């Protein structure tokens, strides 16, 4: 019974045509990469700060405003439940919004950088 050695994975960046460390540094220092970073940060950082503040508001209200959080909205549904479910809703909305942002703004810029680095352009 003959054993076969597996073919090397040719899609790996570690292959013979892999970019050098100097090329990676050059890309990292480029204006195009700086724009990609700026686009990501200008979206992600403010949204992260807003969500953390929203979460902390919920926690603080839960700890220090029990009467307010216990206020009935409809039937047995109170403000705490509405705000708690709002936490889940905003989490999913932010994930969806970021996914759209990445697909439309980040991915094309990243693909252009990757293509240039790999010499496909």
Print the domain residue range for 83. Answer: 29-117
High-pLDDT (> 70) share of the chain, %: 85
Residue 75 lies in a domain: yes
**pLDDT at 54 > cutoff 60:** yes
Please report whether residue 10 resides in a domain. Answer: no
Q: Does 103 reside within a domain?
A: yes
Residue 8 lies in a domain: no
Q: Is the residue at 19 inside a domain?
A: no
Residue 67 lies in a domain: yes
Six-digit token pair at 34? 């700086």
Model pLDDT, residue 1: 55
Structure tokens that stand for 85 in this block: 């479910």
Is residue 6 one of the residues assigned to a domain? no
Q: What is the total count of domains within the chain?
A: 1
Domain assignment present for 11: no
Residues 38-61 have a mean pLDDT of: 97
Q: How confident is the model at residue 66 (pLDDT cuts 50, 70, 90)?
A: very high
- Return mean pLDDT, the chain: 88
């Amino acid at each position: 019974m003959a054993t076969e050695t597996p073919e090397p994975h040719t899609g790996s960046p570690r292959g013979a045509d892999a970019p050098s460390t100097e090329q990676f540094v050059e890309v990292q220092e480029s204006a195009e990469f700086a724009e990609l970073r700026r686009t990501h940060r200008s979206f992600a950082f403010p949204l992260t700060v807003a969500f953390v503040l929203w979460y902390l508001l919920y926690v603080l209200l839960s700890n220090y405003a029990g009467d307010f959080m216990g206020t009935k909205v409809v039937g047995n549904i109170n403000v705490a439940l509405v705000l708690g479910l709002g936490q889940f809703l905003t989490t999913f909305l932010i994930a969806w919004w970021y996914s759209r942002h990445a697909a439309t703004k980040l991915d094309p810029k990243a693909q252009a950088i990757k293509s240039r680095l790999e010499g496909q352009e």
